[in-house]
Chain A
Amino acid sequence: MTAPLEISPVKATPAPEAVLTGAGQIEGRSLGQIAWRRLQRDKVAMAGGITVILLVLVAIIGPHITQSPNTYHQNLINPTFSRPVGAFGGISHAHPLGVEPVSGRDVLSRIVNGAQYSLLIAFLATFLAVSLGVIFGVIAGYFGGWLDAVIARSMDVFLAFPLLVFALALVGVIPPTAFGLSGNTLRIALLIFVIGFFNWPYMGRIIRGQTLSLREREFVDAARSLGARPAYILFRELLPNLVAPIIVYSTLLIPANILFEAALSYLGVGLYPPTPTWGGMLSDAVTNQYFQIDPEFMLVPGLAIFITVMAFNLFGDGLRDALDPRTR
């Protein structure tokens, strides 16, 4: 698991990076603008960010322009060996990334459709984890006392659970129809729930730490002495200062969740066939050892995962550097 590093909280007052403009007027820049400029200067992070945007676009638009991911093309498969006819896993004009062994399904369309599911699950799970983490972290950090003790202990409990094992167990135990949902809808909901629910302590701990230190700051003191109610302090004073770590760690949590979902699919509790997921495709490539006779079939989803995760990591790193005033 990516271990979180505490970053120092950014002050609400703007850092003086003033620039002379025109007729001698000194203009301050807001924090966001400063961060944006610094991010722009970091070429690698920008590359990551652009890749992320491209991937999201592909995931949204792609399934509409590629062919059906479930059509079998038996004529492209050698029946004795169950592998694609032709080099590099059957690459051709019609199938730019080749076809799968046994079924002959188009790999490109499966990757693109898989992107949809992988990203959807990762985003929603991250959203769940972040929401829970922020809520509990802020409450624990701000109110302290027994509330903090209870929340901190439950975070310990969750962190003591072997994550992967539990996810595996939970998803394996629930039958295909339960709680009013069935099939893939149920699975997707389960995966989002499991990944998000078991990940919230990571976010929770960071936010709690940040809140603890922010609580002692002068501006919070000032607001309190002015008679502001806790809700006001939470929303107007603390939360804006937490936005930076929230964004940064969300961006870093998403790739971890993509990997997590891939691992679950690999271990056999992914979505039902024929729905493609990246982890599921890797798993297919591995059981039956197709990767030895058709290595391209394993490389494509592996690289897809790799590029996506790398892009998010680069972008997240760059974002973190940009928002932290101390790193130069």
Chain B
Amino acid sequence: MPTLYQMIRFIIRRLIITVFLLIVVSMITFAIFFLIPRLAGQNSYQLASQYVGRNPTPAAIHAIEQKLGFNEPLAVQYGRFAKGIVLGAHYNAGPDKTYCPPPCFGYSFRNQQPVWPMMLSDIPVTASLAFGAACLWLVGGTAIGVLSALRRGSVFDRAAMGIALAGVSLPIFFTGLIALELFSFRWPIFPDLQFVPLTENPYLWARNLVLPWTTLAFLYAALYARLTRAGMLETMGEDYIRTARAKGLPERNVIVKHGLRAALTPIVTIFGLDLGLLLGGAVLTEFTFSLHGLGLFTVLAIQNSDLPQILGVVMLTAFFVVIANLIVDILYAVVDPRVRY
């Protein structure tokens, strides 16, 4: 187990890399949305005309073009964006200037409201979906995987792996739609699926999330079951397991303390990555079930070409992924004694 000092050094190093990573991600995102249309032949006037609503008079387009700064060079626009995140920005809302405190991801091109509060209000939805489903799939998936590995070749094993394979092979929007159609409309077991915040009504919160949780968890549980099974099979064949058994340790000890622990390492890696990505918004699930989380926010932002919103949500997602990876790496040190930093 590394010392506290080593751990802190490690964390600081990783945090610096995180910042660097986020900068790179933001640059690439910016480039995609600004550079590519220009490469494909659009000028700033045409770019501005998308944000003028249904009444694109030349005066309106020019005004928007100026206001959103499209006619400035790319570097200047990016600089303004970066400054906003660190220092905050002032925005002309008409009669007075409003101040947008850091981190300021700018103002939506569509309704000219600050992006960060809109994203913040979506985080609880995505977090509820992600964490709930994560618990389900981690526990369910690994449990089934362990059992399958132990009863290898049995009916249980074959059936479980068969279903797992099916789960991995079905598109999630397909399963989601069928679930919605059957359990919400045809047999109204879960009618009127609207997100209710946990603080408002825990029972309704859970009840309305059951369908999305199970749809999402089904896919991942299948994956994790397969992984755990394969990992367990590998570790259970190792020599040290045989030694442990020969020593007379109880079987449960052998399985959990020795077998599962070693098999868990790849699971933990992937879990971190998956959870991090999911926190950025389970796009397809949120789209299918109309959950107003970061995923749906992203899809709508893209459909509206709302660059500040897109930039904001991509950076937030990247942040979650990287933090999740950091936590996973720390956990490694705890779980696997061979790891050195």
Contact = CB atoms under 8 A, between A and B. Distances in A.
A159 B273 contact: yes
Contacts of B45: none
Contacts of B177: 286, 291, 298
A172 B298 CA distance: 13
Contact of A162 (B173, B233, B287, B317): B317
A2 B226 CA distance: 10
A259 interface: yes
Interface string A279-314: 100100010000110000010001001100110011
Contact of A157 (B24, B266, B299): B24
Interface of B: 17, 21, 24-25, 28, 32-33, 36-37, 39-42, 165-166, 168-171, 173-174, 177, 181, 223, 227, 230-231, 233-234, 237, 266, 269-270, 273-274, 277, 280-281, 283-284, 287, 298-299, 302-303, 305, 310, 313-314, 317-318, 321-322, 325
A221 interface: no
A231 interface: no
Nearest to A309: B169
A282 B321 CA distance: 30
A275 B55 CA distance: 33
A5 B169 contact: no
Nearest to A154: B24
A178 B40 CA distance: 5
The 5 tightest CB contacts between A and B, nearest first, are A178-B40, A309-B169, A3-B270, A310-B169, A160-B318
A174 B281 contact: no
Contacts of B33: 169, 173
A192 to B, nearest CB: 17
A291 B176 CA distance: 13
Contacts of A165: 280-281, 283, 298-299, 302, 313-314, 317
Nearest to A320: B230
A156 interface: yes
Contact of B21 (A156, A175, A259, A314): A156
Given A160-B25, A164-B284, A310 B231 contact: no
Majority secondary structure, B binding face: helix
Given A173-B36, A178-B41, A298-B177, A305 B171 contact: yes
A172 B303 contact: yes
A89 B24 CA distance: 51
Contacts of B313: 165
B32 A170 contact: yes
Contacts of B281: 162, 165
A306 B32 contact: no
A261 to B, nearest CB: 10
Interface residue SS majority, chain A: helix
Nearest to A175: B40
16 contacts: A159-B321, A161-B317, A162-B277, A162-B281, A162-B314, A164-B283, A165-B298, A169-B32, A169-B310, A172-B302, A174-B36, A262-B171, A266-B173, A302-B170, A305-B170, A305-B171
A286 B172 CA distance: 13
Contacts of B17: 153
Nearest to A267: B299
Which of A2, A6, A164, A169 has the most chain B CB atoms inside 10 A of its CB?
A169
A135 interface: no
A83 to B, nearest CB: 16
A259 B234 CA distance: 29
Contact of A5 (B231, B277, B305, B318): B231
A249 to B, nearest CB: 14
A173 B168 contact: no
B165 A3 contact: no
Among B17, B181, B269, find the residue whose CB has the most chain A CB atoms closer than 10 A: B181
A66 to B, nearest CB: 24
Contact of A313 (B24, B169, B273, B321): B169
A3 B325 CA distance: 15
A179 interface: yes
Contacts of B174: 282, 298, 302, 305-306
Contact of A3 (B28, B266, B314): B266
Contact of B234 (A159, A162, A166, A326): A326
B165 A310 contact: yes
Nearest to A305: B171
Given A3-B269, A161-B314, 19 more contacts: A5-B231, A156-B21, A156-B325, A157-B21, A157-B25, A160-B25, A160-B317, A160-B318, A162-B280, A162-B283, A165-B280, A165-B317, A166-B32, A169-B302, A172-B305, A175-B42, A177-B40, A263-B173, A282-B171
